[in-house]
Amino acid sequence: MANILLLIALITGLISILAAIYFTVIVMRKDRGNEKMIEVSGYIETGAKSFLKVQYLVLGIFVLVLFIVILLFLPSKMTGHEVPILVGILNWQQAVAYLIGSGASMFAGYLGLIVGVKTNTRAAQGVTKGIKEGFDIAFFGGSVMGLAVVGVALLGVGGIYWIFAPTLGIEQATQIVLGFSFGASGIALFMKCGGGIYTKTADVGADLVGKAEYNLPEDDVRNPATIADNVGDNVGDIAGMGSDLLDSYVASIVAAMILGTTVLAAAGVRPDFVILPILLSSAGLIASLIGIFLIKYFGRDNPGKSLNMGTYLATVLFAGFAAIIIAIMISQIPSSITGSALKVTIWKYWKDYIAVVLGLLSGIVIGWTSDYYTREDKKPTKTIAHAAEEGHAVVVLSGIAYGLQSVVLPAAGIIVAMAVSFILDGVFGVAMAAVGMLAIVGTIVSNDAYGPIVDNSRAIAEQGGLGEDIIRKADTLDSAGNTAKAITKGFAIGAANLAVLALLFSFIQEAGIVSIDLLSVKVLIGAFIGVIIPALFSALLILSVQKNAAKMVKEIRRQFTENPGILEGTEPADFNRTIAIATKGALRELILPSVISIVTPILVGVIFGVASLGAFLAGAILSGFVFAIFMSNSGGSFDNAKKWIEDGNLGGKGTETHKAAITGDTVGDPLKDTAGPSINTLLVVMSLTASMFMGLLAKISSGQGILHDAWFKIEGIDNQYVWIIIVILVAAIALGILFWVIIKFARSKNIFQKILKKE
Amino acid sequence: MANILLLIALITGLISILAAIYFTVIVMRKDRGNEKMIEVSGYIETGAKSFLKVQYLVLGIFVLVLFIVILLFLPSKMTGHEVPILVGILNWQQAVAYLIGSGASMFAGYLGLIVGVKTNTRAAQGVTKGIKEGFDIAFFGGSVMGLAVVGVALLGVGGIYWIFAPTLGIEQATQIVLGFSFGASGIALFMKCGGGIYTKTADVGADLVGKAEYNLPEDDVRNPATIADNVGDNVGDIAGMGSDLLDSYVASIVAAMILGTTVLAAAGVRPDFVILPILLSSAGLIASLIGIFLIKYFGRDNPGKSLNMGTYLATVLFAGFAAIIIAIMISQIPSSITGSALKVTIWKYWKDYIAVVLGLLSGIVIGWTSDYYTREDKKPTKTIAHAAEEGHAVVVLSGIAYGLQSVVLPAAGIIVAMAVSFILDGVFGVAMAAVGMLAIVGTIVSNDAYGPIVDNSRAIAEQGGLGEDIIRKADTLDSAGNTAKAITKGFAIGAANLAVLALLFSFIQEAGIVSIDLLSVKVLIGAFIGVIIPALFSALLILSVQKNAAKMVKEIRRQFTENPGILEGTEPADFNRTIAIATKGALRELILPSVISIVTPILVGVIFGVASLGAFLAGAILSGFVFAIFMSNSGGSFDNAKKWIEDGNLGGKGTETHKAAITGDTVGDPLKDTAGPSINTLLVVMSLTASMFMGLLAKISSGQGILHDAWFKIEGIDNQYVWIIIVILVAAIALGILFWVIIKFARSKNIFQKILKKE
């Protein structure tokens, strides 16, 4: 029976992908509008494709290298904790799962992004028939990403488990699934950091010169960075956010599965707890699907309400479906289990159910707190807007202070969810809360992907000359996207946090760590390094945006100076060059952060041992949460304070107050769209790296770290690890040199430009 | 012999205070300059006194309440872990030590501040005779604070130990010393937060209206906030920084003493390890004293070089003196210890010596990294200055990013110091590193107090009409102060961090915590709350500054509007009102942060137990370090980027670039002078609160937290704790209401204004 349920889950995943294709077809059949609109949309599509092309090219190398590392060096459980190459075997199952995970993430990103950029002009044209029509098109276009993400995740996780569990057993099957998760996350990190840098390079560049210096309106086609800006919205919010939530989603399921393998319930039901996370996730998918299909019947002319109604519907439906699944699972408890063992097992199911619902609710609550801190009709954003009256510096300080303050409530949400679900069912309970929070991720990603589509639609309506009335209608759609986005952003951070906590527990369990004792200085050092990483990571991303934006600014000024016809509107701006700057910059600048996210946990583990690595992860998770919420909320608040002023408050556009608010918004941009959201993915990747490399770390040292081994000359440790360290170091250096050479070469031969020009 | 050494340490403390008085007399004999200068200096002095009066009034109540709590409710070791009032005794020794600690801190603050504000006009007048004369006066005036701090600390710690150790034994004596430390830190928190809010309220207010709106030059006497601004420099940098370092200094000594009580060396030498921290600190004091006396012979006309030479001299001397003390201690090892026990003991002394020197060196290194990140001729600050060319937002982003990045190197310094000293001699080694780092604190505080004095001198030279040439010379003195300040700030944060780490270890040891295991969700929650506190605390302080600065801005505008004679220079500005706003605001706004710092650790301990409290402290220490360094360095960097532009680079004053740099500076101001440095004191107070209330917490619950007890209905736990919790809650609420009523009352009767007017 359990297998049949698993099969149903797989079918649900398939249905989700089919639904994504169905929506794609529906949207593609819609009218693309006038010639100008098609032209502009074409530019955006080309830009998005060239971003993907360059990214996927480099990602290919990255994936290949890691594939080889996993294949040859990483001991998974099935190899008896031996380093494969040293005992003449291959860790092929996990390596292939890694490839599939990478591929699945790339596929979902590709599909979602391409459909997204094809939808914008159609939604703009739809608005001419009415807000409702425009909304439906945009929402269906966005839901392609949401459905694709959930579909590939469920198919991947469920399928891999389904294939390997019968022959290799549940422990080994979950380890292989871990490989899938690692693959999905690696891609997510690239997409999120790269997308985040891209979008803000273009946005900041377009704003600083176009808007501030030349007073061009938003989305003016004379602004050479305007297309890059539109591409950026898609790249950052569709591809980036989609892969971010995909990796949290998969990670929560995998963590729960791994923790499920040691569930102490009566024998015979253990495998059922391992697949429970998959089943619950498929229940969430069905709930999301129904919500997405029914969304057109809600709210009618109030798109913001429709989006939120869809979320709440999915929430309620999921709570119901999950109860049904629990009831079915209970009905399937083997009859050999009786008496108190039966009672305990039944109770365990219901306690996990409560944890799931609790996770779901706390996700919503965290979303609300983000909403409160970023909504223009609430105190924080109003205060920030008023602070703009005092000048540039005061508005910035306000936003920073409220952003820092806004960490408290979501943290309380996470703490309560974690504490109660732990009391209910230990670490497995916490993992189930994470699964519950992420169950309706299909809806969340759909809502989020809707945002950039309508943002682009507005731009296309403007550039296609559809007139003031249509642009105003498109604005309505756009602002609904912003409202939904505030909630989904908070949700994404909360969900990622709970997922990585679950992942931390599963890492600890798998590594057989019996204590992560802060009384040990080694462990304290691990925690210290962990706490610093999110700060360093954010700093690097902000500096990247700044560096690239400076190049963008220079290029825009150059175009305006060398070709005055652009400003007069008689000659077209050169969009390709600005797109190339954003694309190249994003790629170059994401390398260091990515390397940090993979290399640091390995180094901490090698040098200080696995317990210290656990503390490293815990430190990074906690401080990462603070930085992610701070940056995301202060950025959102700056944004809406500016919009509130632009709506005519405090003097409206063009005043000194407005200029100060723009400063706030520009400061907030890389915080909320680059650094803040990338931290989620950073945490997931670091946690997964720890889980993946743990076996190797245990081989390398006594698990106490090489410092410890060297110092205490532990008996029984042979010098095998010295060789492995050398291999790793050589591999790392080789990898670094390879990257360096490729990029140097590509730059010297202008390959990036050629790739971009070919489009 | 050990007792004779201790007596010598006490005498050293006394000498230090005598030296402070000697310097006071020397400075007071100097010429006060012309009438205008005396008038301006008088204003500043009055302002500083009224700040102290209001602060000390409220502090008195605060100290009294805590005195009663300690006396009646806190079990110290000597009461056999019983709650005093319940067994009919009084914890009088610790309570009195607490009073003495508070008094000592208040005395040092008073003396240092008053001498500081009396020195400024004399130093200004001194400059007319030459830079050297001005420097000597300013430096001697500043060293009064440095010497007073170290003197009262050594006298207090050494004296209390000397009195109680013979009769009560070393464990109990160190507990009483802990009371002294708690007293000193409570005052430090008020002075630091209050001073920080005061100084930035005045500074931001003066800049936003006076400089930005009316283009008045710095220190223009027509600016109504200019006196408050000058008072603020003293209040923040002399009183604030002095008490900050005083509390780190005392905390490091106390932590090392407590950890010294369990040193496992051969019996008979244990007490020697307890007094070792005191002896080493007195060696540091002598080194500082020599440095201070000799400083006039260095550098001659290069004041910046003189200050640094003094620091390096003190460093080298201390390393030598410390070696002598170690050698003496070794020579005093009782002859009953022989063979391998003797070898171990000797080795232990030398290992501790290495830890001490390591701590000292890493303090210097951390100072250098702050210097690098904030110096105008280094890359970060230059990049930030260039970012100002791109506008307000870009300069702010740059500063934030570099500030975040600047955390890495100092953290590495702390980690190396901690790791190596731990390897050398366990947690006692770490504490000794903290003692070493703080040993030359007399020099550090003196250098720091020099800053505001010369800053004020410059203002007085300007307002006293001493002419361009003298003002330029005063500028030279001022900029030397800024250079020294960058180093001392980084140093202060590093030192505080290492001191609280040592304090954490001593808390853990005293609480008998055998593990702080992050695998326990309770502990993880403790760490989570801890990580958030510094963020919340910073947010509150920044918002406070903003709120007060807004009031200040309104008042300045009001004065200019209602009394146009002020701007024309025909009528004097009303300094009293601006001073009153800064004073009242600082007092009102520091209450919430102070309450947080004392209440949160107690609540975490009560609810989740002592292990969780340990994790809470660890989390707060790590994230506090990140926030403190980030805020301090980005603020310093903004400041110097602005100054670099004002020196004529990138177009110089008055350009758009300069305006953007001013925005950066204004953003950085509350970060570097209010929030950032207050975090140090927050951490010390929280750690000491944990240590002080630990006995009570253990009484209240099984030490596992009331949640745990309630959940598991632990046997053997009676309901006594319920009553104690009620007492505490009632006391806390009563305390809150008392504060509320007092402030309401004082406000309604305009008592603050009356106090201020009387001056």
Cβ-Cβ contacts under 8 Å, A508 against chain B: 519
Q: Which of residues 379-398 of A touch B (CB under 8 A)?
A: 387, 390-394, 396-398
Residue B26 predicted with pLDDT over 90: yes
Q: How confident is the model at residue A702 (pLDDT cuts 50, 70, 90)?
A: low
pLDDT, mean of residues B667-687: 91
- Distance in Å, alpha carbon of B637 to nearest chain A alpha carbon: 15
* B531·A422 Cβ contact <8 A: no
Question: Using CB atoms within 10 A of its CB, is residue B722 exposed (0-12), middle (13-18) or buried (19+)?
Answer: exposed
B641 in Cβ contact with B693 (< 8 Å): no
Distance CA A741, CA A155 (A): 37
Q: What are the pLDDT digits (tens) for A198-208?
A: 998 888 888 87
Task: Compute the distance between CA of residue B604 and CA of residue B610 in angstroms, rounded to an integer.
Answer: 8
- Helix residue spans in B76-130 (DSSP H): 84-87, 92-127
**Which chain B residues touch A620 with a CB distance below 8 Å?**
none
Q: Which residue in B313, B271, B267, B277 sits closest to B292, CA to CA?
A: B313
Nearest to B457 by CA among B466, B447, B444: B466
- The pLDDT of residue B757 is above 50: yes
Cβ of A623 within 8 Å of Cβ of B626? The answer is: yes
| A contact residues 656-685, partner B, Cβ 8 Å cutoff | 660, 662-667, 670
Alpha carbons A645 and A657: distance in angstroms, whole number: 8
Whether A515 sits inside 8 A of B519 (CB atoms) is: yes
Q: Which of B420, B519, B543 to mutate to test the interface with A (most CBs of A within 10 A)?
A: B519
At B528 the pLDDT is 95
Residues A609, A615, A618, A623, CA torsion sign: negative
Which of B214, B408, B428, B532 to substitute to test the interface with A, most A CBs within 10 Å? B532
pLDDT at B107: 92
Residue B75 has φ and ψ, to the nearest 5°, of -75, 125
- Note which residues in 534-553 of chain A have CB less than 8 A from chain B: 535-536, 538-540, 542-543, 545-546, 549-550, 553
pLDDT at B701: 63
Cα torsion through A323, A329, A330, A332, rounded to 10 = 150
pLDDT of residue A610: 87
Give the model's confidence band at B719: pLDDT under 50 very low, under 70 low, under 90 confident, else very high. very low
CB contact under 8 Å between A663 and B393, yes or no, is: yes
d(CA B256, CA B435): 7
Residue with tokens 């889980």: A691
Residue B517's beta-bridge partner residues? A517
Q: What is the pLDDT of residue B717?
A: 42
For residue A387, list chain B residues with Cβ-Cβ distance below 8 A.
546
Q: How far is CA B220 from CA B55, B196, B213, B669, in A?
A: 28, 22, 14, 20
In tens, the pLDDT along B156-177 reads 999 999 999 989 888 889 999 9
Query: Of the ranges B214-228, B367-381, B540-554, which one carries the lowest mean pLDDT score?
Result: B214-228
- Token representation of residue B67: 């005195």
Alpha helices in B206-302, H assignment, sequence order: 226-234, 241-260, 270-294
Q: Is residue A655 scored above 70 in pLDDT? A: yes
> B528 vs A411: CB contact, 8 Å cut-off?
yes
∠ at Cα A203 (A200, A209), nearest 5°? 130
Task: Report residue A526 CA to chain centroid gap.
Answer: 25
Partner-chain contact B531 A622, CB within 8 Å: yes
Best mutation target among B392, B612, B706 (most A Cβ atoms within 10 Å) is B392
Q: Does B500 touch chain A (CB under 8 A)?
A: no
Local confidence band at A338 (pLDDT 50, 70, 90 cut-offs): confident
- What pLDDT is stored for residue B723 in this prediction? 52
Q: For B508, which residue in chain A has the nearest alpha carbon?
A: A519
Q: Which amino acid is at A648?
A: G
Within 11-70 of A, beta carbons closer than 8 Å to B belong to none
Residue-wise pLDDT for A351-373, tens only, equals 999 999 999 988 888 888 888 89
Per DSSP, what are the bridge partners of residue A517? B517
* Closest-approach residue (CA) in chain A for B419: A521
Q: Which residues contact A241 (CB under 8 A, 6 or more apart)?
A: A192, A445, A448, A449, A488, A492, A677
Question: Is pLDDT above 60 for A192?
Answer: yes
Per-residue pLDDT of B613-647, as tens digits, reads 999 999 999 999 999 999 999 998 999 899 899 88
Element (DSSP H or E) covering residue A721: helix A720-748
Mean per-residue pLDDT for A704-725?
Answer: 52
A134 contacts A457 by C-beta, under 8 angstroms: yes
Is B662 in Cβ contact with A400 (below 8 Å)? no
Neighboring chain A residues of B542 at a CB cutoff of 8 Å: 397, 400-401, 404
Give mean pLDDT, residues A378-398.
91
The answer to whether the Cβ–Cβ distance between B396 and A630 falls below 8 Å is: no
Tell me what pLDDT residue A340 has: 84
Min distance B393 CA to chain A CA atoms (Å) = 5
Nearest chain A CA: its distance from B482 CA (Å):
22
Substitution target in A211, A383, A404 with the highest count of B β-carbons within 10 Å is: A404
Q: Chain A 403-432, CB below 8 Å of chain B: which residues?
A: 403-405, 407-408, 411, 414-415, 418-419, 422-423, 427, 430
The band of B737, judged by pLDDT with boundaries at 50, 70 and 90, is confident
Select the residue from B373, B402, B404 to test the A interface by mutation, using most A Cβ atoms within 10 A.
B404
Give pLDDT tens digits for A464-497: 888 888 988 888 888 888 777 777 888 888 888 9
> Residues A229-245: what's their mean pLDDT?
85
Q: For residue B714, name the pLDDT band (cuts at 50, 70, 90).
A: very low
Residue recorded with tokens 């205008």: B36
Which of A523-527, B189-193, B486-490, B574-578 is least confident?
Answer: B486-490
A163 versus B731: the higher-pLDDT residue is A163
Contact A580, A756 (CB under 8 A): yes
Mark which residues 290-309 of B lie under 8 Å from A by CB.
Answer: none
What's the gap in Å between the CA of A250 and the closest CA on chain B?
A: 23
Mean pLDDT of chain B: 86
Please indicate if any CB of chain B lies within 8 Å of the CB of A615.
Answer: yes
Q: What is the pLDDT, as a whole number, of residue B726?
A: 57
Highest mean pLDDT among A59-68, A83-92, B74-83: A59-68
Instruction: Report how far residue A724's alpha carbon sits from residue B94's, in angstroms, rounded to the nearest whole number.
Output: 57
DSSP letter assigned to residue B78: G
The answer, yes or no, to whether residue B95 has pLDDT greater than 50, is yes
Closest CA to A184 of A59, A79, A57: A59
- pLDDT of res. B17: 93
Residue A674 tokens read as: 């680059």
Tokens matching residue B159? 């004296």
- In this predicted structure, the answer to whether residue A516 has a pLDDT above a threshold of 70 is yes
CB contact under 8 A, A401 and B525: no
Q: What is the complex's ipTM, to 2 decimals?
A: 0.88
The share of chain B scoring above pLDDT 90, in percent, equals 37
pLDDT digits (tens, 9 = 90+) for A583-632: 888 888 888 888 889 999 998 988 888 889 999 999 999 999 999 999 99
**Cβ–Cβ < 8 Å for A362, A621:** no
**Inter-chain touch B532–A666, beta carbons under 8 Å:** no
Q: B461: Cβ–Cβ under 8 A, 6 or more apart, which residues?
A: B37, B124, B127, B470, B471, B474
Query: Which residues in chain A have Cβ-Cβ distances shorter than 8 Å to B401?
Result: 538-540, 542-543, 546
Q: Taking residues B593-622, report their average pLDDT.
A: 90
Contacts of B533 in chain A (CB under 8 A): none
- pLDDT score of B705: 65
Residue A212 near chain B (CB below 8 Å)? yes
- Please report, for chain A, how many H helices and E strands are present, in that order: 24, 0
Q: Return the CA Rg of chain A.
A: 25
Which site among A262, A430, A517 would you substitute to test the B interface, given the most B Cβ atoms closer than 10 Å to its Cβ?
A517
Q: How would residue B365 be classed by pLDDT, with cut points 50, 70 and 90?
A: confident
Instruction: For B638, name the nearest residue in chain A, comparing CA atoms only.
Output: A393
Q: Which residues of B touch A660 (CB under 8 A)?
A: 392
From chain A, the residues in CB contact with B389 under 8 A are none
Separation of alpha carbons B24 and A742, rounded Å: 68
Compute the mean pLDDT over every residue in chain A, rounded to the nearest whole number. Answer: 86
How remote is the C-alpha of B213 from its chain's centroid?
A: 34
Chain B residue nearest residue A401, CA to CA:
B539
Choose the most confident range, by mean pLDDT, from A465-474, A716-725, B75-84, B537-546. Answer: B537-546
Nearest to A738 by CA among A24, A9, A11, A68: A68
Q: Which residues contact A753 (CB under 8 A, 6 or more apart)?
A: A580
Q: In B, which residues are within 8 Å of A532 by CB distance?
A: 407-408, 411, 626
Contact B529 A415 (CB under 8 A): yes
**Cβ–Cβ below 8 Å for A550 and B390:** yes
The whole-angstrom separation of Cα B217 and Cα A655 is: 26
A536, A626 contact by CB (below 8 A)? no
The DSSP symbol for B517 reads B
pLDDT at position B614 is 92
Give the pair of three-digit tokens for residue A164. 């390997």
Pick from B519, B531, B666: CB nearest A623 = B531
Contact B536 A405 (CB under 8 A): yes
Determine the pLDDT at residue A751. 63
Summarised one tens digit per residue, pLDDT across range A9-60 is 899 999 999 999 999 999 999 999 888 899 888 989 999 998 999 889 888 9
Per-residue confidence band for B324, with pLDDT thresholds at 50, 70 and 90: very high
For residue B405, the chain A residues in CB contact (below 8 A) are 535-536, 539-540, 543
